[in-house]
A and B are shown apart, each in its own frame.
Chain A
Amino acid sequence: MSSRCRARLAALAALALLSACDREERQSRAQPVPETLPTPRQSILQPGVPARTAADPRARAYENNSYQMSQGQLLYQKMNCSGCHAHGGGGMGPALSDAEWRYGGSMEEIVATIDQGRPNGMPSWRGKLTEQQMWQLAAYVRSLSAQPRQDVLSSRPDAPSSTEPATLQSRQPVVPSSPAGVQGTSR
């Protein structure tokens, strides 16, 4: 095989690789997957114990999707989440950019928290936001701790901000916190 032939084959192979590039789909309608009401859980919830929520197919559709995440960021500002949680660092409400989740940090658990509200100040947003908006918010809240893939994070914040863009933050390993480690019991 001549060197030119090899070069051509290499170029063809590179072209074939391009076909593997995938473009993110933008779903502005509320129903990327059928809407079903999450069943409200009221009994088994204990602070510090990871809540057991059934896996929802929507978690995958919304997490790691930059459009949904940026819509969530818009809602985070407009619905005044930053009034209590600041821009992830926490204030009157708990921080959202650390590894501690009082009521669970999975997409489903965050949506349940937004939907139902939680003791000590977190209001229920059921009927105030659509489910789609709650999933978008959850996707953004997950991104505050740099959990999603780096390529879907925004490289610049929408508002003037002194924090580094999420793409420059390194992903920290998530250490499940022990029940004793939360709510200030061991500190």
Chain B
Amino acid sequence: MTGGGGLQGEQFNRLFTLFMGITGFFYVLVIVGMLAGIAIRGRAAGTERGERLARTALLGWIAAVVLGLTVLTVGSYASERRVSAAIPARPPLEVQITANQWWWDITYKNAVPANELRTANELHLPVGVPVKVTLKSNDVIHSFWIPSLAGKQDLIPGRVNDLLLLPTRTGQFRGQCAEFCGTQHAHMALDVTVEPVASFRRWQQAQLAPAAPPSTPLAQAGHDLVMSQQCASCHAIAGTPASARFGPDLTHLASRRSIAAGTLPMTRGHLYAWIADPQGVKPGNNMPYIGFDSAKLHAVVAYLQGLK
């Protein structure tokens, strides 16, 4: 059962309650009818009164079934109409989500390429604004699921799926891959923040800015290491020479809530742990062991922590 953070979720819950109510009523009716039949049968069997009673019960049963099915059909049609009326065919916001083993690549589409925003593993949505989510996959079949907002939708390599969302409540939610996609399927989470439109715009502007330049000598050394070592072969940091797209975008890494698709909370210590031994935390993921010594590790973490 989904939660009530999005329009689809709310409608689904309402429909579920209606369905439970009607089926529950019929369940009780059948049990009561059966018990009554057992009680009456012995006394009224074969008499004219018994025949009449049976005919009335049958007619009543048919009427109840027809009525119940009608209510269910109308209810399901009405909630379908509610959802499609609330979400326009071309919503104002379009987000493209590409699943990888085992992280989410997120792009906020914009007609102006310079305003296209790329991030990873963190989805921000404005409350009350319909959003079209385009779903793709780079390797195997994944499934996009934010239980609080809407149902699941598969991401299939070579195909484009989409999903319409309308968040109705602000808050922080968790998304999760819902289709087994390899050893680290469980560590493929998505941090979702639904916030008022104004603060969403602020977040969007902050994310569109290029990466903060290193502010200390240590962070500068870290910047140089990230650019000259293996990091830049896979990761992109806007405003620097690093522009590869194999791994998650790191431009505003330190502003996110977690590391490695919800595997670890974003803290200094966890950044050390992740860079020192990525395979210890999330075995099988595509981030290799680099083998930085402690001085280099300090520098790289200092730089990454500055990427607010």
Contacts and interface: CB of A to CB of B under 8 A. Distances in A.
Interface of A: 26, 28-31, 35, 71, 74, 78-79, 127-130, 132-133, 158, 160
A133 B288 contact: yes
Interface string B263-289: 000000000000001011001111011
Contacts of A30: 279, 288-289, 291
Nearest to B282: A28
B288 A130 contact: yes
A28 B228 contact: no
Given A30-B279, A158-B139, A127 B289 contact: no
A29 B286 contact: no
Interface in B281-308: 283-286, 288-291
A78 B288 CA distance: 14
B241 interface: no
Contact of A28 (B230, B233, B283, B291): B283
Contact of A127 (B139, B229, B234, B277): B229
Contacts of B277: 29
Contact of B289 (A29, A71, A128): A29
Contacts of B229: 127
Given A79-B233, A127-B230, A28 B284 contact: yes
Given A29-B279, A35-B291, 12 more contacts: A29-B280, A29-B283, A30-B291, A78-B246, A127-B230, A128-B233, A129-B230, A129-B233, A130-B230, A130-B290, A130-B291, A132-B289
25 contacts: A28-B283, A28-B285, A29-B279, A29-B280, A29-B289, A30-B279, A30-B288, A30-B291, A74-B286, A78-B234, A79-B233, A79-B246, A127-B228, A127-B229, A127-B230, A128-B233, A129-B230, A129-B233, A130-B230, A130-B288, A130-B289, A130-B291, A132-B289, A133-B288, A160-B158
Which are the 10 A-B pairs with shortest beta-carbon distances? A30-B289, A78-B246, A130-B288, A28-B284, A29-B279, A128-B233, A28-B283, A28-B279, A132-B288, A130-B230
Contacts of B246: 78-79
A186 B233 CA distance: 39
A78 B246 CA distance: 6
A83 B41 CA distance: 84
A26 to B, nearest CB: 7
Contacts of B291: 30, 35, 130
Contacts of A29: 277, 279-280, 283, 289
Contacts of A71: 286
B227 to A, nearest CB: 11
Nearest to A158: B139
Contacts of A79: 233, 246
A148 B16 CA distance: 55
Most buried by B among A71, A128, A160: A128
Most buried by A among B139, B158, B279: B279
A158 B285 CA distance: 17
A128 B232 CA distance: 8
